[in-house]
C-alpha cells in the first residue's frame, strides 16, 4: 500500500512595514518566530511556508537551502537521506523600503532506510559468509547498493537476494571492507529515492570488557569501568542499559565509561552491560558482566529504610530502559 506523507510548516512570522517590527511571541519577546511541527522525513515531501504579518506593500521572499536560492513564500522539499542536519533560511524583503530580515531554522531529517547486518548481531569475519539488509525499503521496489560511493555489482561471490534488499557475501575478503549504503525507492506518489544510513564493514572489531569485582558486599562502593578499543567520544559513545532490571542500591552513578555502585540487597545477582556504538556508521559492540552480591543479610528494619531509595533507583532504571 502506498502512502503519501505531506506536512505543511509555518517557518517565519514577521511584521513588515516601512520600518521593521516583529509580532511578539507568547513569551512577550519581540523576536521573529520560527514554528513547525512533525518530522522532516527522507523520501517524503514537505512544504514550508514563509509568512509575514501586516506587510505593506506585499513582501517578496527568498529561501536558501543547501546552497541553493529559491524564490516564493513556499518551498517544497523532498530530502534524499544524505543529510541528517540541514539549515533552512527564509528572507522577507519589503518592496517599498527595501529593508529585509532573515530567519533560520535547523532541520533534523529522519531517515527511514538503513543498512544493518543480518542477523543483527553478526560480525564480518574473513573467509566466512555475511549478509547486509536494506531495512525500511519498500517491498518490490528497486534497491541499489554502494560500497564507498561506488555501485556494487553481483558476481559469483556476491549475491543480491530478496528483491535486492539483501546483500550476501559467500566468503568475505579484505577488499569487501568499506562503507555500505543502499538506495531505496519509496512507495509514495513520487516514487522518491532515498540514500540510507550506512554500515561500516570492518574486520577490526571493537573489543569491550568491564573491569571490576565479580563479588561485592552490601554498603560498600564499587567502581566498574567499560574498557574498549574504540576512541570514546570520537569513534564511539558509551551506554549502560539496564535490560529489564535495576541495580538495587543505596548509591548509583554513571559518567561515560565509569559506573559506581553501592549494592544493598545480599544474595542477588546483577548483570551489568556496557554498549559501545557509533549509530552513524552502524557499528556497535557490548559486554555483560555478572556480579554477585554476598555478605550479611540485610535486617528487616534496614529493608524498610532502603525501600524509598530502591523506589528512586527504579525511576532511574526506567530512564535507562528508554535508551536501551
| Residue 2 within any structural domain of the chain | no
* Residues spanned by the domain of 191: 114-201
State which of 78, 110, 142 marks the end of a domain.
110
Q: SS3 for 19-60, per residue? A: CEECCCCCCCCCCCECCCCCCEECCCCEEEEEEEECCCCCEE
| CATH of residue 86 | 2.60.40.10
| Residue 51 within any structural domain of the chain | yes
State which of 201, 219, 242 marks the end of a domain.
201
Domain count within the chain: 3
Per-residue pLDDT of the chain (324 residues; tens, 9 = 90+): 343 444 433 333 443 333 333 232 323 222 233 455 568 899 988 888 887 655 666 788 889 999 999 998 888 899 999 998 999 888 888 877 777 888 888 888 999 999 999 998 788 989 999 999 999 998 889 999 999 999 998 898 999 998 899 999 999 999 999 999 999 998 887 789 999 999 989 888 888 999 999 999 999 999 999 999 888 887 889 999 887 666 677 788 898 999 999 998 888 899 999 999 988 778 888 999 999 999 864 444 444 444 444 444 434 443 443 344
| Residue 174 within any structural domain of the chain | yes
Identify whether residues 167 and 261 lie together within a single domain: no
> CA quadruple 80, 81, 83, 88: dihedral positive or negative?
positive
Identify whether residues 187 and 267 lie together within a single domain: no
Identify whether residues 172 and 236 lie together within a single domain: no
Identify whether residues 233 and 269 lie together within a single domain: yes
Report phi then psi at 20, rounded to 5: -85, 130
State which of 135, 170, 201 marks the end of a domain.
201
Q: What nine digits make up the cell of 42?
A: 527522507
Could you tell me if 224 and 254 are in contact, meaning their C-beta atoms sit under 8 angstroms apart?
Answer: no
| Residue 1 within any structural domain of the chain | no
With 0.75 as the threshold, say if the pTM is over it.
Answer: no
Amino acid at each position: 500500500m502506498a502512502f503519501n506523507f505531506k506536512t505543511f510548516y509555518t517557518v517565519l512570522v514577521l511584521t513588515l512595514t516601512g520600518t521593521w517590527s516583529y509580532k511578539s511571541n507568547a513569551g512577550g519577546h519581540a523576536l521573529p518566530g520560527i514554528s513547525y511541527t512533525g518530522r522532516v522525513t527522507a523520501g517524503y515531501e514537505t512544504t514550508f511556508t514563509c509568512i509575514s504579518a501586516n506587510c505593506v506593500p506585499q513582501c517578496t521572499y527568498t529561501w536558501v537551502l543547501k546552497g541553493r536560492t529559491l524564490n516564493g513564500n513556499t518551498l517544497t522539499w523532498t530530502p534524499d537521506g544524505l543529510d541528517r542536519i540541514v539549515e533552512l533560511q527564509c528572507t522577507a524583503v519589503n518592496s517599498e523600503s527595501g529593508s529585509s530580515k532573515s530567519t533560520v531554522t535547523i532541520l533534523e531529517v529522519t531517515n527511514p532506510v538503513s543498512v544493518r547486518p543480518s542477523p543483527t548481531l553478526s560480525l564480518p569475519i574473513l573467509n566466512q559468509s555475511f549478509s547486509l539488509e536494506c531495512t525500511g525499503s519498500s517491498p518490490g521496489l528497486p534497491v541499489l547498493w554502494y560500497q564507498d560511493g561506488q555501485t556494487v555489482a553481483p558476481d559469483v561471490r556476491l549475491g543480491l537476494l530478496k528483491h535486492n534488499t539483501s546483500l550476501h557475501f559467500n566468503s568475505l575478503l579484505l577488499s569487501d571492507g568499506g562503507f555500505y549504503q543502499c538506495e531505496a525507492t519509496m512507495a509514495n506518489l513520487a516514487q522518491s529515492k532515498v540514500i540510507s544510513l550506512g554500515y561500516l564493514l570492518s574486520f577490526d572489531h571493537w573489543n569491550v570488557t568491564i573491569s571490576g569485582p565479580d563479588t561485592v558486599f552490601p554498603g560498600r562502593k564499587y567502581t566498574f569501568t567499560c574498557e574498549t578499543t574504540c576512541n570514546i567520544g570520537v569513534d564511539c559513545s558509551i551506554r549502560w542499559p539496564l535490560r529489564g532490571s535495576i541495580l538495587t542500591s543505596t548509591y548509583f552513578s554513571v559518567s561515560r565509561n565509569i559506573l559506581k555502585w553501592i549494592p544493598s540487597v545480599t544474595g542477588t545477582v546483577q548483570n551489568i552491560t556496557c554498549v559501545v556504538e557509533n549509530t552513524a556508521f552502524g557499528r556497535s559492540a557490548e559486554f555483560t558482566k555478572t556480579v554477585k552480591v554476598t555478605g550479611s543479610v540485610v535486617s528487616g528494619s534496614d529493608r524498610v529504610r532502603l525501600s524509598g531509595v530502591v523506589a528512586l533507583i527504579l525511576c532511574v532504571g526506567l530512564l535507562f530502559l528508554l535508551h536501551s
